[in-house]
Structure 1
Amino acid sequence: MRRTCLFSGTGDALVGWVQILVRLSLKLSLVILDEVLSLLSSLHPLPAASFTISLRTVDNITVMIKLRPGVSPSCQIRVKNVIRSELKIKPGENVTFAFSCSTPEKYFVMEIQKNIDCVSGPCPFGDVHLYPLGLPRLNRTFIWDVKASTKAGLELKFSTPWLKQIEPGETCPDFVSYNINSCIDMATVNIGTFCRNGSVSRVKLLGGVIMSLHLPWDSPLTTSGFSIANRASIKRLCIIESILKGESSITLMSPNYPLGFPEDELMTWQFVIPSNMRASVFFHNYSLSNCERKEERVEYYLPGSLSNPEVFKLSDSQPANIAGSFNLSLQGCDQDAQNPGILRLLFQVVVQHPQVDESKYLPAPSLLLLTDAWAEHRKEEKYWGFLELWTLLEFEEVGCQATLRPVLPPWVPPAIVTARRMAMLKFAICDGV
């Protein structure tokens, strides 16, 4: 039976109905066409781009392509008409393969590991290259596993813009990250995870290192951004060097953070700061382990101090207004075997211009105690000096009486001068204003 649909209304309304029907018809046609193309593609897949990876035996590199965790195997790898979900290419092999989909970066990741033996043979020191070339555009991790003796040190030197340490779980803005692990005997210690664009310029390690570089599939990077050099033994777990230029700040963490720093270990942070800048150290998060022997502490080598190293507890207020470059070391202890606890530290170094005009402070040839030696420098005017901890002091003489008044500027924590240190006060006398 034939049915006729009648449209009532004005001519404009009729035109509108016709336009709606045309759009529905076009949309339905596109859906049907898309389904037909998908069916034809599954029956006769379009030829995919092929890749050839050739690995030399001497380079000792292994390439592994595998499915991303939690992703369904909708895309596969074809090697000589054999379908597989992962591919491992060993040193000395030459393999040509292709993917069954046009977007393999959604399904696969790639690891490129190079093993370097510096114990039984010479090390390939110098710039580290991203090899092999011509890899498919996948999320990829380059791993350099360097075996080295504890009698020698390895130095990782980073090219500008250097590195910035991040906390576990954080992500780098460009998704490019470095991870550094120290390997001593069978123990592995996570030195930290770093992004680009920071102030960490070098990392020195005792023994071997596992260095990883994580790149997203669309990263334009073609160089590793670091080199490896041989150094004398550093006699500690690691040394991390940071170069701070101008007003800036840096946040750093102890190895394995937020887990525990290795028992009875020692490490050092070196800060290279212009002499006309001032640095302050702030401990934001720390915990202590239960020590059987020794005491957990931090040690500073401060510019101009005659009592280096300056020793502090982690619970102390840390040095402020430090003039120029300095070192900070973290020392662990022998822990209680039954209840070891955790030693960890997260801290910040803030670099600023001096908050007062220090150009008029002329240091004297020697440090004097507050004794009769003061009379040798008696003048009827104010004198200024600096503690070894860089706390500003004001000296004033009235007649034969000399008085000392500590002046704690607002950027110096008041607790930085303890009663014990005040009792052993040393100061530099200026020659006058």
Structure 2
Amino acid sequence: MRIWRFTCFSLLFGFLLSSVPELTGSAELKIAVEFGTTIRINTSAGKTPQCKVCIRPNTQQLCQSSVVLRSDTLLDFSCSQPENVFTVQIISDNVIYNIEPKEHKALQKFNRTFIWNLKPPATKSLHLNFSSTGLLQIQPTDSCPDKHVYMLAVENVSIGRFCQNGTIRQVDVRNAGKLSLEVSGGRALDKKFIGVSLGRLINSLANFHVVLPEKSSTQDFFAPNAFPENTETMWYFTVPQTYYTDVHILSYTVPTCLQPENIPTMKYTWQGKEPLVKLMNVSQPSVEPGNFNLSIKNCKMSGPQPPSQGLMVHFQISAIKRSKGRYHKLFIFIIRIVKKKRNKTPPVSVYNPGEHAFLPGLHGIPKAQEEEEDPHTYVYIDETLVYSHLLNYDAEKEEYKEATTDESDPPLSAPALPVRNAENLVTKSNALLDNELCGYVQGQSTTSGSPKTSEEEGNYETRLCV
């Protein structure tokens, strides 16, 4: 009996102990709040407020479903696991300088959202430098593997959701905006530095600066949700030197415009080229090298339209390495080698430039030459023309004698040319010297009658040297 009573008592006591945390459990946290920072602790959406958060501003404890902290505070929760009920927002206002996320160890178990309110001067824009993180744009319902999700809003318009380790290196925003970082409960904050600087005022809602990697890749981009009317968004793409890009629109919707001719389009600009404007229902640029800009501008709408019928564009940029020689032009040079024909004939005699050229004793009488050639060679020499102007004809003795050089003598007249029988010329040539050609011409002078006697017959020998 005693054993039974002891067993029943032990079971009852154990049951009561197991029920105590659910009935009477609580948690206490000491929160440190930095100057210029506000911490909001709210009940998670869709959660029934079964747990309260309590503070002691004075001596009396105040418990409620949410609380706003602006200074160091000691918190009490009416449940043992408040991280399952509450979410935390850590807000920094009027950010115009560099952002350095800071962890709150006491709140690490909660789902946390770090918010930086961006407020540049009216005449400036803010440049957010994400070089240390890199942003990758994702769908509104997607999450990130490392449980860190960035969100950017400008003028109460959601620009997009992003993961780390992407190709977006910088975002420029005009007017007031908000940068948020969601970190899941239990995950340590990745303290990535974000550079903030002021720049010239931009006309577009936001500018995205994208640096494509030096490898074949595909990146997705989305136009802002609830794209305001008559507003523009710009993307600046830096493409590696040995790559080209293809653009594809995966899905889109366009609103009903007040002026149908102003329907939203894709406008591409390459350096040194005229802008290229494409409708969204046609093929986009393909196999294009070089950096380029892309702008999407919404039209002025005919009236209020639901978000599902507003402007929405999901496009894709593919970077592909150029194959060797694809953009290298092939130049073929045809070299024509023309062998200049060597002219082996000597220069033309100044005495007979119109005759055919030949080299005495070597080539014989040459064939007729083409008119365009100018051989500048020696020609066939008629011995009767050689030195004939230096001889005087004695009519009485019918013989030639050497002319005198007396100035009183009458001028020499050209003698009658002797007539030769049909016989071939015989030439004798001595050894040729450099730049000199010498030859002997031997023949017999005759007249049209019978051969002359030995006294009348004149054998002569002529030597020509040049």
TM-score, normalized by the shorter chain, greater than 0.5: yes
- Structure 2 distance, partners of 1:162, 1:31, is 58
Asked whether 1:36 is paired with 2:16, we answer yes
- Structure 2 distance, partners of 1:214, 1:350, is 29
* SS of corresponding position for 1:38: helix
Q: Residues 237-278 of structure 1: CA distance to partner in whole angstroms, max 9, x if unpaired? A: 11111221111111111111xx4x221112111112211011
> CA, structure 1 residues 78+287, in 2 after alignment: closer, same or farther (shift >3 Å)?
closer
AA in 1 matched with 2:302: D
AA in 2 matched with 1:88: V
Conserved? CA contact 1:248–1:351, under 8 Å: yes
Asked whether 1:114 is paired with 2:92, we answer yes
Conserved? CA contact 1:279–1:349, under 8 Å: yes
AA in 1 matched with 2:143: T
Residue of structure 2 in register with 1:323 after alignment: 289
Conserved? CA contact 1:78–1:84, under 8 Å: yes
Return the offset for 1:338. Answer: 7.4
* SS of corresponding position for 2:137: strand
Residue of structure 2 in register with 1:180 after alignment: 152
- Structure 2 distance, partners of 1:226, 1:105, is 28
Residue of structure 1 in register with 2:376 after alignment: none
Asked whether 1:218 is paired with 2:183, we answer no
- Structure 2 distance, partners of 1:355, 1:244, is 18
- Give matches, 1:362-401, under 5 Å: none
Return the offset for 1:146. Answer: 2.1
RMSD value, Cα: 3.2
Match for residue 264 of structure 1 among 225, 230, 239: 230
AA in 2 matched with 1:51: K
Match for residue 268 of structure 2 among 278, 283, 300: 300
Return the offset for 1:145. Answer: 1.7
**Residue segments in structure 1 that go unaligned for 5+ positions in a row:** 3-24, 117-122, 364-377, 382-433
Tell me the number of residue pairs that the alignment of Structure 1 and Structure 2 aligns: 323
Conserved? CA contact 2:29–2:106, under 8 Å: no
Q: More strand per residue: 1 or 2?
A: 1
Larger-gyration structure (1/2): 2
* SS of corresponding position for 2:67: strand
Asked whether 1:244 is paired with 2:216, we answer no
Asked whether 1:95 is paired with 2:73, we answer yes
Conserved? CA contact 1:128–1:228, under 8 Å: no
Residue of structure 2 in register with 1:158 after alignment: 130
Residue of structure 2 in register with 1:142 after alignment: 114
* Normalised TM-score (structure 2): 0.62
Return the offset for 1:83. Answer: 5.8
- Structure 2 distance, partners of 1:362, 1:343, is 46
- Structure 2 distance, partners of 1:108, 1:338, is 36
Residue of structure 1 in register with 2:197 after alignment: 229
Residue of structure 1 in register with 2:30 after alignment: 51
Residue of structure 2 in register with 1:84 after alignment: 63
Return the offset for 1:155. Answer: 1.2
> CA, structure 1 residues 133+313, in 2 after alignment: closer, same or farther (shift >3 Å)?
same
Conserved? CA contact 1:66–1:85, under 8 Å: no
- Structure 2 distance, partners of 1:318, 1:135, is 48
**Residue segments in structure 2 that go unaligned for 5+ positions in a row:** 336-466
Asked whether 1:69 is paired with 2:45, we answer yes
The percentage of aligned residue pairs carrying the same residue is: 25
- Structure 2 distance, partners of 1:42, 1:359, is 72
Return the offset for 1:106. Answer: 1.1
Residue of structure 1 in register with 2:451 after alignment: none
* SS of corresponding position for 2:93: strand
AA in 2 matched with 1:97: L
Conserved? CA contact 1:130–1:142, under 8 Å: no
Residue of structure 2 in register with 1:388 after alignment: none
AA in 1 matched with 2:112: R
AA in 1 matched with 2:244: R
* SS of corresponding position for 1:156: strand
